[in-house]
Amino acid sequence: MIDTLRLTAEEAAGLIERGEASAAELHEAYLEAIAVRDGELHCYLTTVEEAEGAGVPIALKDVISTKGVETTAGSKILEGYRPVFDSTVAARCKEAGLPLIGKTNLDEFAMGSSTENSAYGPTHNPWDPERVPGGSSGGSAAAVAAGLAPWALGSDTGGSIKQPAALCGLVGLRPTYGTVSRYGIVAFASSLDQVGPITKTVRDCALLYRIIAGRDPCDSTTVELQEPVELPEASDLKGLRVGVPKELNEAEGIESGVSEQVGRAIELCRELGAEVGETTLPRSVAYGMPCYYLIAPSEASSNLARYDGVRYGPRVGNGDIRTMYERTRDAGFGDEPKRRIMLGTYALSAGYYEAYYGQAQKVRTVIRDEFAAALADFDLLVSPTSPTVAFPLGARTENPIAMYLSDVLAIPPNMAGLPGLSIPCGLSEGLPVGLQLIGPQFSENLLFRAAHALERALEFDFVPTRLA
């Protein structure tokens, strides 16, 4: 009997290696778990019946194009769309022998922080089904937390891996921009989108990152990794300088329970031998969000222009071309994509470009410089990943700004192109709290080492209490 709730991907690989379970048996075990629990949680939009490959099965967020398997990006406008090609990350998973379990739910076009913006209904948090799993990669996070996948890939534009990983008690890596190919990832904001793992352990995270990372000739913005991905073994933080950015840790809206757990983790860093000091990122935290909400919608308005009903996806209306465009896009897009298309179209319009998009790009440079300065004094920076624990479904749907603020701590390092790793560091009101570790560009190995040492010391149990 395979205990999918507890089994890590590394352990699953061990079962296969020792001949104790086949990939097909594992795949079957997850499908059975899905049959039992996904009715309540709604992590998956599509499941794949046949195991293809001899490795540890995987779930992919539904922005990741999979040849022959419906890929909707959580939108009606891509309902029924089956890619004729594999995204580079899907192809790399295939080459590594990882059978696809299914495609996971998400906020439409990855726009959201709760997975409530999916056109196919929300996903529920395995720790408390009355609450959201975070988003936009909520389906991937909830699936791994509920034992419906040993590991999964998500995508992160403004916190969409880190935040749901935090809210579901998991490890989530948003890699350095340019280390993971975006080829075949349904684009949201091209200069920010990055695919990364959501896993139960830091070592699983490193294993999966190793499979997907590296230059891709199909994505001009990717680079070769400077060093191979290492599996972390460290159990201390000796010699490491850990910076605590004041503004990221004292921002308005951080729940006291979250602060408490993060404070405890920071204390643990010291006990594990790290040198801990305070640092500051005043502009990054003050301007990160506004800057993000100009750049991401601008790029989104451009990236979503291709959904016009001409080549694929549903088409509404057969008359005049303008009418066809309007009806198709009106019926196909939900409120959040429409809101962002309008924001972005406005920000890019003649006469506004310099004041909005142009200015935001300049601010982005300021943020990058500010992080570089902080990282000159410290090897890595820590903060809460999310200001709050998982919130109840519907709590923020009527107030977009409140929803956007879910990512206020996750966004600033993204604007700087930096990698961020979220690991669970405790419970507040019985719900997981995430600790965000931020390093310089290409410092994934360092993040894995530090996170692994902390993970051992924290002894967080990733199985949701109510399911244990």
Catalytic site residue from 87, 113, 118, 136: 136
Residue 190 interacts with other proteins (CB under 8 A)? yes
Residue 359 interacts with other proteins (CB under 8 A)? no
Q: Which residues contact 358 (CB under 8 A, 6 or more apart)?
A: none
Residue 158 interacts with other proteins (CB under 8 A)? no
Q: Angle at Cα 103 formed by Cα 98 and Cα 104, nearest 5°?
A: 120
- How many of the chain's residues bind other proteins (CB under 8 A)? 44
Least distance (Å) between residue 426 CB and other proteins: 37
Among 11, 24, 85, 456, binds other proteins (CB under 8 A): 85
Smallest Cα–Cα separation from 108: which of 157, 149, 179?
A: 157
Cα 298 from Cα 344, distance rounded (Å): 4
Q: Is 67 a catalytic residue?
A: no
Q: Is 136 a catalytic residue?
A: yes
Binding pattern for the stretch 205-234 against other proteins, x by CB under 8 A and - elsewhere: ------------xxxxx-------------
Least distance (Å) between residue 391 CB and other proteins: 30
Q: Are strands 431-438 and 380-384 parallel, antiparallel or unpaired?
A: antiparallel
Among 103, 124, 182, 200, binds other proteins (CB under 8 A): 182
Structure tokens at 383: 């903060």
Question: At what angle are helices 282-303 and 359-377 packed, to 10 degrees?
Answer: 130
Chain positions 38 to 77 lying near other proteins, rule: CB under 8 A, are 63, 65, 71, 73
Q: Which is nearer to other proteins, 358 or 392 (CB)?
A: 358
Q: Which is nearer to other proteins, 42 or 182 (CB)?
A: 182
Structure tokens at 394: 């519907």
Q: Can the peptide bond before residue 136 be classed as cis, meaning omega within 30 degrees of 0?
A: yes
Structure tokens at 120: 């196919």
Q: Is 118 a catalytic residue?
A: no
Among 134, 135, 184, 297, binds other proteins (CB under 8 A): 184
Longest distance between any two alpha carbons in the chain, whole Å: 70
Structure tokens at 1: 């009997």
What residue type is 409 in one-letter code?
L
Q: Angle at Cα 377 formed by Cα 371 and Cα 380, nearest 5°?
A: 65
Q: Which is nearer to other proteins, 84 or 401 (CB)?
A: 84
Chain positions 245 to 304 lying near other proteins, rule: CB under 8 A, are 298-299, 301-302, 304
Per-residue DSSP letter, 251: -
Among 191, 280, 359, 397, binds other proteins (CB under 8 A): 191
Q: What are phi and psi of 434, to 5 degrees?
A: -105, 140
Residue matched to tokens 């902390």: 454
Tell me the window of 3-11, 133-141, 188-196, 426-434 that interacts with other proteins (CB under 8 A): 188-196
According to DSSP, the residues that pair with 428 across neighbouring strands are 431
Among 18, 49, 350, 459, binds other proteins (CB under 8 A): 350
Structure tokens at 130: 């009355």
Binding pattern for the stretch 330-349 against other proteins, x by CB under 8 A and - elsewhere: ---------------x--xx
Cα 368 from Cα 373, distance rounded (Å): 9
What residues make contact with other proteins under the rule CB under 8 A?
63, 65, 71, 73, 78, 81, 83-85, 87, 182-187, 189-191, 217-221, 298-299, 301-302, 304-306, 308, 310-312, 320-321, 325, 345, 348-350, 353, 357
The catalytic residue positions are 61, 136, 160
